[in-house]
Structure 1
Amino acid sequence: MTEQTLKVTRPRRVAFPWLSGLAGVGLALYLLAAGDPALLKELGLIPAGYQMHPWLQTQETKVAALLLYCLIILWEVFRHSRRLRAFDRDIERLRTEVNQVWQSKKQLQLKAHTFAGHADKLKLFISEKLLEYIEYDEKFLHFKSIAAEVRHNGVICFDKVQTALEAHLEQGGDEDTRARDQDAYTAMRYLWDLLDLSTTDNIALHIGNHLCECEEHYYQQLLSEEASEAVPHRPDYPPRRATLRALAPLLQDSPTRLETLDSSNDGAVILDEDPQFRAHLNPTDTLLGNENHFVLLLENLLKNAQFFARKKAKSRYNRVALTLGQQRGRVEMTVYNRGPHIEPEAMEQIFQLGYSTRRAKEHHGKGLGLFFVQEIVKGYEGRIWVENVENRAAYYSLRIALASGGLTTEVIEVMLDEQGHPYCRRADSEPGTSGEPSLEWDFDEPITRVELTPTASQNTLALEVDPKGEKETLLDPDHAAIPRWALKIQPRRKGGKLIFTPLDVAGVCFHVQLPTAASRLDGEEEDLDALAPREEELNRPFEGLEDYRGS
């Protein structure tokens, strides 16, 4: 409310009728002088030898004087009434101004009470926050003291257990015993690395320092084979092996089979039979550092994706998708899950310590997993970001060849409802026709060939169909990790059936980029394309030097 300046107007005064009073006195003296001049002479009001003009003593003059006095009285009455009306207006204006003053005073009092209440609430809020911060600082100091003790005692205990496991491994034994001992040794190493990260003061700095040490050993290996033999441990590791280690406890496949896939397959490793996960892992260059740090990073992303994927209705296509590849000098990894989208304001907070999007009573998050992920990525000098995956409308051309030589062509339109869920219909349907979750085609003769072409990409998927074959399901090849449609083919000797289903892919996808060991050696880990838009900004401080050199 803006402040108002109230101007109090002083009311007009009611003037005394001086003119009519003086005129009355003059009229009385005139009439007295005209009627009895001797009395005025005795009183000394007129000189003794004064003689009035005869005209002034006439009756007409006296009536004219009386009429003049009446006119003066009427004029005074009119003037007085006009002043009274002006006075009443001034009084009313004064009352209005006084009321405004009172209203302004009441508003100021109300505002003062409101601000006083806000001030009290603010004081209470600040005092509560100060108490929380004080308590947090006390807990943090207490945690640091406990962490230091845990690290000290953990080193001693870990050395004892590691020495015992190494001695037991050297003793030999059958293959199963050695495998169990090796698994126990690997699990112990992972436990120690996890404890080491959890109790360090700065996770990113700790990993960065470790990478510097590994980088030095990596250079020694490349420079000399003799120096590489003296290195106590391998400074780099293949990310695909670490990925399979993180996936092993979550998949139905045995760890032995996963290790066989990693060691025997030089191409892509595709895991598409698990009901919860889908993985497409390409071979990449090695990464520097500790393999367990990468395993911890991926485990947190996978468990987070698994939790939110379960909140959607179960479906054979509702799986967590993991991809691994390489672009230039960076290893790229994505983890996708169907589930609720992340609000834009929450995308900047999900990596903060203590912030969690899990609000279920039985699964309330602690806000540690994604914080660990970001700190590990920072230590690797990589990048991590998250995006919401949306459903999209599209058109598809479906060509079906039959055994008799007939050819059927259908155009499928995929649309979105009010909630953003996909549904489909034939493009030649009449306007206003409601869509369906899927479209079916049933033929009385065998199907020999099926072609499906998205109109956006023009990448045709062609499949020869054996009438004696079994049922088969084709998924979107343009989006192998996140397929947007499924095509079921059910061949029969005397016919065939096709079912096209648009898939609901609304969810969340995390992207991670980490520089490879070779890119660190060659100095190519910096993304030059990302620096190109900033070239002018980076060169601005040196414009003066160019001018100076030209002069």
Structure 2
Amino acid sequence: MTLRTESDRPFKPSWPQRFSVLSSFFGLALVAYFYLITEPDLLSYYQIPGWVLDPRLKMALCAIFLIFLINDAHRFAQARRQQKQQARQLQDEYNHLWQSRKQLQHKVHTYAGHADKLKLFISDKLLEYIEYDEKFLHFKSIAAEVRHNGVIGFDKVQSALELALAQPELSETDQTRTREALQQLRYVWDLLDLATTDNIALHLANQLCDLEEPYYQQSLNPESADSHELQPTFSPVAGLVRALTPLLNTPESLHTAVAEGLPCQWQDDPSFWLLMEPCGVVLGNENHWVLLLENLLKNAQFFSGKRPYRHKYRRIGVRLLERSGKVRLQVFNSGPGISEEDKTKIFQLGYSTRRVKENHGKGLGLFFVGEIVKGYDGSIAIENIVNNARQMTLRLEFENGDVHTDSFTVQIEDDLPVCQRHGVTDTEKTLNWSFEQPLRSVEVSSADAHQPQIKVLDTSLRSINWLDPQQPDNPAWVLDISLARKHCGIQFTPLDVRGVQFTVELPLAASRLTEDATLEDLDSIDVDRLNQPFQALDLYHESNH
């Protein structure tokens, strides 16, 4: 509905039309006067004085009548104008009401169409939900049948593989293959177990509760630990190595680095950068940890290959360390940031951010990650890494003792880093320096760094590629140095660091053991004070006996 203004209200005349009584009666009187003066008999009969016949009186009366006629004509013209104005306003109001009626009819038709569409949409969704519920119930029945028959098949295959491993004549290669097959069989079974359960987080929490008792028994009596491969705890380091093995070109290098001891920083693969520190064991099933790692790493692989975020120094950064009684896993991958809205939905079943052309995610990988983290009573956080402007200084020391220092600024244009020298308005993608003397060392410092980065150059090399040592998994700059006997050239290039970092924390198994009540504390317990509420009950039993 439209609001009506003051001008839209019906017109009311200020002066009502009146009959011209005065001029009418005066005209009748004037007619009677002229009739009287034209009849001598009437003049004599009524004895009319002579001044009545004066011509000046006739003219005066005619003039007065003329004034009355002019006044009536003026009043009539004014009333006519007011009537025309009122007629125009009535016509405008009529047109306005007609347009309003047409608009209301149009709105009625529009809203009726929307209502019909909404009814169709709701009915379609209800049909979809009903069909989904039917499919879900059907899937649950299939899953129950699969679990029932799968247990039988799993036990048979597992028994056969364990029996094969026990054969003494089996070669070492066959033993390795059989052990790997048994491991993969158990992994597939755990995946099927998670996929067919109603509540994954609750299912995992129940499994942890079942594993607490054997873990406590092992903690109290380490010599009686079960020698079976399925232990109540697992090593996060071993699980990470196992998850990374099928994704690497040369996994043997990783196995060798881990065998040499931790901590280790490994970067032999062009796609991954890895930092591992010694970590305690975690209560649970290693297969769940491997499933979590595989989904995070494959998700990182998908986004790391996307333009325009990739460059030749890009790698997936993986950090595994122990902090405050928890194992902390950090996985960084380049790519677009995740909005705050998506952060709250990304771990929901069926929700995926992969909406590029025909490649749509199924919304299962990160759902499993979230459920596993909740089931293990852990936490997961998402952090968007962005490019930041900063002030930087390059200090060069030459063989003859000379020192050259140059400061510049790294600015952000169109979300990408560029360089700007002091006193220059133009920006450059790279900065270059050239000197006619041999170089000894290079020092790079920035306002956000705790300390400057120094590199002493090896004069036997002709070229050196120095990446940002402060964050080797996601370097913010690269320095290309060319060395000659009497000449050196330096090129500084800021790098795009945009990406997303997932941080997962799971409690270690040792954190589940309370330190407040130990066996030594039992001697200090006041048993008599604890028995006081039950003394009356003991006296009652004694009196009855």
TM-score (norm 1): 0.84
**Closer/same/farther in 2, CA of residues 510 and 229 from structure 1, 3 Å limit:** closer
Per-residue deviation, 1:489: 4.5
Q: 1:215 aligns with which of 209, 212, 216?
A: 212
Q: Which moved more, 1:482-491 or 1:110-119?
A: 482-491
Verify: 1:69 aligned to 2:65, yes or no.
yes
Per-residue deviation, 1:203: 1.1
Q: 2:373 aligns with which of 374, 377, 382?
A: 377
Verify: 1:187 aligned to 2:187, yes or no.
no
Q: In structure 2, what is the equivalent of residue 392 of structure 1? A: 388
Does the 8 Å CA contact 1:468/1:492 hold for their aligned counterparts?
no
Q: How many residues align?
A: 511
Per-residue deviation, 1:500: 3.1
Per-residue deviation, 1:199: 1.1
Q: In structure 2, what is the equivalent of residue 329 of structure 1? A: 325
Q: 1:306 aligns with which of 301, 306, 316?
A: 301
Q: In structure 1, what is the equivalent of residue 274 of structure 2? A: 279
RMSD of aligned Cα (Å): 3.0
Q: In structure 2, what is the equivalent of residue 538 of structure 1? A: none
Q: Which moved more, 1:404-413 or 1:161-170?
A: 404-413
SS of 1:478 mapped into structure 2: coil
SS of 1:449 mapped into structure 2: strand
Give matches, 1:512-551, under 5 Å: 512-522=504-514
Does the 8 Å CA contact 1:471/1:490 hold for their aligned counterparts?
yes
Q: In structure 2, what is the equivalent of residue 30 of structure 1? A: 33
Does the 8 Å CA contact 2:380/2:505 hold for their aligned counterparts?
yes
Q: In structure 2, what is the equivalent of residue 78 of structure 1? A: 74
Q: In structure 1, what is the equivalent of residue 248 of structure 2? A: 251
Per-residue deviation, 1:51: 4.2
**Closer/same/farther in 2, CA of residues 283 and 470 from structure 1, 3 Å limit:** farther
**Closer/same/farther in 2, CA of residues 203 and 399 from structure 1, 3 Å limit:** same
Amino acid at match of 1:201: D
Amino acid at match of 2:266: L
**Closer/same/farther in 2, CA of residues 73 and 489 from structure 1, 3 Å limit:** closer
Verify: 1:483 aligned to 2:475, yes or no.
yes
Per-residue deviation, 1:328: 1.4
Per-residue deviation, 1:161: 0.9
Q: In structure 1, what is the equivalent of residue 424 of structure 2? A: 431
Per-residue deviation, 1:391: 1.7
Per-residue deviation, 1:241: 1.4
Amino acid at match of 1:278: W
Per-residue deviation, 1:409: 2.7
**Closer/same/farther in 2, CA of residues 178 and 422 from structure 1, 3 Å limit:** same
Q: In structure 2, what is the equivalent of residue 549 of structure 1? A: none
**Closer/same/farther in 2, CA of residues 353 and 441 from structure 1, 3 Å limit:** farther
Per-residue deviation, 1:79: 1.9
Amino acid at match of 2:381: W
Q: 1:8 aligns with which of 10, 15, 32?
A: 10
Does the 8 Å CA contact 2:254/2:266 hold for their aligned counterparts?
no
Verify: 1:468 aligned to 2:460, yes or no.
yes
Per-residue deviation, 1:176: 1.9
Deviations 1:144-189 (CA, angstroms, capped at 9, x unpaired) = 1211111111111111111111111122333222211111111111
Give matches, 1:502-521, under 5 Å: 502-521=494-513
SS of 2:133 mapped into structure 1: helix
Give matches, 1:46-65, under 5 Å: 51-65=47-61
CA distance in 2, matches of 1:61, 1:2: 65
Verify: 1:295 aligned to 2:290, yes or no.
yes
CA distance in 1, matches of 2:213, 2:491: 58
Q: In structure 2, what is the equivalent of residue 143 of structure 1? A: 139
**Closer/same/farther in 2, CA of residues 4 and 516 from structure 1, 3 Å limit:** farther
CA distance in 2, matches of 1:68, 1:454: 107
**Closer/same/farther in 2, CA of residues 37 and 330 from structure 1, 3 Å limit:** farther
Q: Which moved more, 1:470-479 or 1:314-323?
A: 470-479
SS of 1:348 mapped into structure 2: helix
Does the 8 Å CA contact 2:315/2:473 hold for their aligned counterparts?
no
Deviations 1:123-147 (CA, angstroms, capped at 9, x unpaired) = 2322332232222222222221211
Per-residue deviation, 1:206: 1.1
Deviations 1:380-428 (CA, angstroms, capped at 9, x unpaired) = 22222323221223333333333333333333433333x3222335x35
**Closer/same/farther in 2, CA of residues 336 and 225 from structure 1, 3 Å limit:** closer
CA distance in 2, matches of 1:251, 1:232: 26
Unaligned stretches of 5+ in structure 2?
Answer: 517-545
SS of 2:454 mapped into structure 1: strand
Amino acid at match of 2:231: R
CA distance in 2, matches of 1:299, 1:462: 37
CA distance in 1, matches of 2:212, 2:103: 71
**Closer/same/farther in 2, CA of residues 416 and 58 from structure 1, 3 Å limit:** closer
SS of 2:504 mapped into structure 1: strand
Q: In structure 1, what is the equivalent of residue 264 of structure 2? A: 269
Give matches, 1:341-352, under 5 Å: 341-352=337-348
**Closer/same/farther in 2, CA of residues 175 and 499 from structure 1, 3 Å limit:** farther
**Closer/same/farther in 2, CA of residues 360 and 24 from structure 1, 3 Å limit:** closer
CA distance in 1, matches of 2:462, 2:206: 56
Per-residue deviation, 1:243: 1.0
Q: In structure 1, what is the equivalent of residue 130 of structure 2? A: 134
Amino acid at match of 1:287: V
Aligned-residue identity in percent: 45
SS of 1:214 mapped into structure 2: helix
Per-residue deviation, 1:317: 1.2
Verify: 1:124 aligned to 2:117, yes or no.
no
Q: In structure 1, what is the equivalent of residue 528 of structure 2? A: none
Per-residue deviation, 1:441: 4.0
Q: In structure 2, what is the equivalent of residue 166 of structure 1? A: 162
Per-residue deviation, 1:309: 1.2
Q: Which moved more, 1:316-325 or 1:220-229?
A: 220-229
TM-score (norm 2): 0.84
Q: Which moved more, 1:240-249 or 1:66-75?
A: 66-75
CA distance in 2, matches of 1:341, 1:310: 15
CA distance in 1, matches of 2:57, 2:311: 124
SS of 1:479 mapped into structure 2: coil
Q: In structure 2, what is the equivalent of residue 534 of structure 1? A: none
Amino acid at match of 2:65: Y
Does the 8 Å CA contact 1:217/1:231 hold for their aligned counterparts?
no
Amino acid at match of 1:435: E
SS of 1:337 mapped into structure 2: strand
**Closer/same/farther in 2, CA of residues 16 and 248 from structure 1, 3 Å limit:** same
Does the 8 Å CA contact 2:257/2:266 hold for their aligned counterparts?
no
Amino acid at match of 2:448: A
Q: In structure 2, what is the equivalent of residue 543 of structure 1? A: none
CA distance in 2, matches of 1:523, 1:371: 35
